[in-house]
Amino acid sequence: MIKVTIFGVGLIGGSLALCFKGKSGITVVGHSSRPSSVEKYVQRGVVDYATTSMREAAEGADFIFLCVPVGMLEQYVNELSRFNLKPGCIITDVGSTKASVAACARSVQLPDAVFIGGHPMAGSERSGVEAASSYLFENAFYVLTPDETTPSDALERLKALLAHTKAHIVVVDSVSHDEIVGAISHLPHIIAVALVNQIKGYNDGNHLYGSLAAGGFRDITRIAASDPIVWRDILINNRAVLLKLLKDWNAETEKFVRMLETEDGSAVEQAFREAGEFRSKLPERRKGIIISTFDCYVDVPDHPGIIGKIATELGNSGINLSNIQIIESREDVPGVLRLSFRKQEDLDKALAQLTASGYSVHL
Ligand SMILES: NC(=O)C1=CN([C@@H]2O[C@H](COP(=O)(O)OP(=O)(O)OC[C@H]3O[C@@H](n4cnc5c(N)ncnc54)[C@H](O)[C@@H]3O)[C@@H](O)[C@H]2O)C=CC1
Ligand SMILES: O=C(O)C(=O)Cc1ccc(O)cc1
């Protein structure tokens, strides 16, 4: 039996557990310091076994995944170094930053064990085991950050296990990882939060800002709803990279200030043209780090059970719904449901199915 231990069975740890559980020869063990969480993991069928004992979870494990907030990773690595780990045990993490945990693992004596940093570049603004899904990493990139001391057979064993996630493995050095992911994920999260808070300030004076900000504004700021603790740790940990990126960001917004002050319409045009051109070349079909959803809106009569009815109808037709939400902003119809899908194909199927069942559906 291969024992895979997960510390921090939340969105990412829970999703990994679901990818491995039930696969032949694998037993998944979850750890939490809270007894009520341990019970919940087993009840929900996310792990085969769960314990509040770090030692029991770690000892005998072939693979250990650290899936806790970035600020806790070093503490966990230090703690693991005090246990009798199984010879050949692979310790990996899923933190959104890689350089500091790699440096910590290098400085700590981990007899018989090998540390290889990791970062599944998929997730969502949701958190906790309730949001975990075995499909989360499918077709996404999964970065591994081995260094020159990493034994190649250990890297291959980790890659073989991660094949269960159906993600595409990419090997990058930890410092480059933090620079690139800082730019494409951490900076956008800061911008989304700053933008929402800017509008929140205006809304305190006039509530029309919030009312009219539905739709597109909600979409581009979805990631502003991400977990505050997880993001506190990521931003503080990657602060050196982010301070440089924020300076560059200020320079970009300054360019717009100057274009508007000087009424330079052709410079505005050029900025949109350049951005559009680069954006059109970005890979479209691979799941990116910031995941888009494919949405449609359904007018629904205001009666109990309607959400369940629609969800069941889609489920029975094999259509994977990723989110369902009641929208209150439209007053001209009895009720509107926003249905979100991860794939265009599922959205297309849902449109056909619900229209055939007599619902009024719009994009
Ligand atoms: N949220 C996302 O989309 C992604 C997150 N990550 C990384 O994965 C790790 C876990 O993030 P999520 O699964 O999103 O978070 P989560 O909040 O869903 O899960 C965190 C887990 O760590 C446990 N934990 C242990 N000590 C904790 C402490 N001191 N404070 C808070 N929680 C503690 C929690 O009980 C929970 O089970 C983080 O390092 C994050 O940077 C990586 C890829 C995507
Ligand atoms: O919700 C989204 O689209 C994200 O951006 C999720 C995410 C959060 C943190 C990561 O390190 C990787 C992906």
Check if CATH label 1.10.3660.10 holds for domain 177-280.
yes
10-residue mean pLDDT profile of the chain (363 residues): values are: 97 97 96 96 96 98 98 98 97 98 95 95 91 92 96 98 97 98 98 97 95 85 95 98 98 98 98 96 73 81 78 90 71 71 87 90 86
pLDDT at position 201: 97
The reply to whether ligand 2 has any atom less than 6 angstroms from the CB of 123 is yes
Q: Answer whether 2-171 and 177-280 agree in fold.
A: no
H/E segment holding residue 361: strand 360-362
Model ipTM? 0.98
138 C-alpha to ligand 1 centroid (Å): 19
The reply to whether ligand 1 has any atom less than 6 angstroms from the CB of 10 is yes
Question: Pairing state of beta strands 26-31 and 49-51?
Answer: parallel
pLDDT at position 7: 98
The reply to whether ligand 2 has any atom less than 6 angstroms from the CB of 289 is yes
Domain-by-domain residue ranges, the chain? 2-171, 177-280, 294-362
CA distance 82 to 77: 9
CA distance 274 to 82: 54
Of the candidates 13, 9, 66, 56, the residue with the CA atom closest to the CA atom of residue 34: 9
Nearest CA to ligand 2 atom 11: 96
- Whether the Cβ atoms of residue 210 and residue 199 lie closer than 8 Å to each other: yes
136 C-alpha to ligand 2 centroid (Å): 11
Tokens of 196: 């929402």
Which residues are CB-neighbours of 145 under 8 A, at least 6 positions away?
98, 102, 116, 117, 118, 119, 171, 172, 173, 174, 177
pLDDT at position 320: 86
Tokens of 79: 């703690």
**Ligand 1, pocket-test mutation among 185, 230, 236, most atoms within 8 A of CB:** 230
69 C-alpha to ligand 1 centroid (Å): 4
The reply to whether ligand 2 has any atom less than 6 angstroms from the CB of 291 is yes
- Whether the Cβ atoms of residue 59 and residue 86 lie closer than 8 Å to each other: yes
CA distance to 55, 60, 128, 134, 165, per residue, from 92 (Å): 17, 15, 20, 19, 15
294-362: which CATH number, 3.30.70.120, 3.40.190.10, 3.30.70.260, 3.30.1050.10? 3.30.70.260
For residue 126, give the ligand 1 atom closest to its CA. Answer: 1
pLDDT at position 261: 98
Number of H helices, E strands in the chain: 15, 12
CA distance 173 to 175: 6
174 C-alpha to ligand 2 centroid (Å): 18
**Ligand 2, pocket-test mutation among 145, 180, 290, 323, most atoms within 8 A of CB:** 290
Tokens of 270: 């050029």
For residue 234, give the ligand 2 atom closest to its CA. Answer: 11
Where does 2-171 sit in CATH, by number? 3.40.50.720
For the chain, how far is it from start to end, CA to CA, in angstroms? Answer: 49
Could you identify the residue written with the tokens 């700021």?
Answer: 221
* Residue 249 CB neighbour total at 10 angstroms: 16
Of the candidates 61, 128, 65, the residue with the CA atom closest to the CA atom of residue 92: 65
The reply to whether ligand 1 has any atom less than 6 angstroms from the CB of 234 is yes
The reply to whether ligand 2 has any atom less than 6 angstroms from the CB of 69 is no
Of the candidates 277, 291, 27, the residue with the CA atom closest to the CA atom of residue 136: 291
Side-chain-side CA neighbours of residue 252 (13 Å): 10
pLDDT at position 285: 59
pTM equals 0.87
284 C-alpha to ligand 2 centroid (Å): 17
- Whether the Cβ atoms of residue 179 and residue 238 lie closer than 8 Å to each other: no
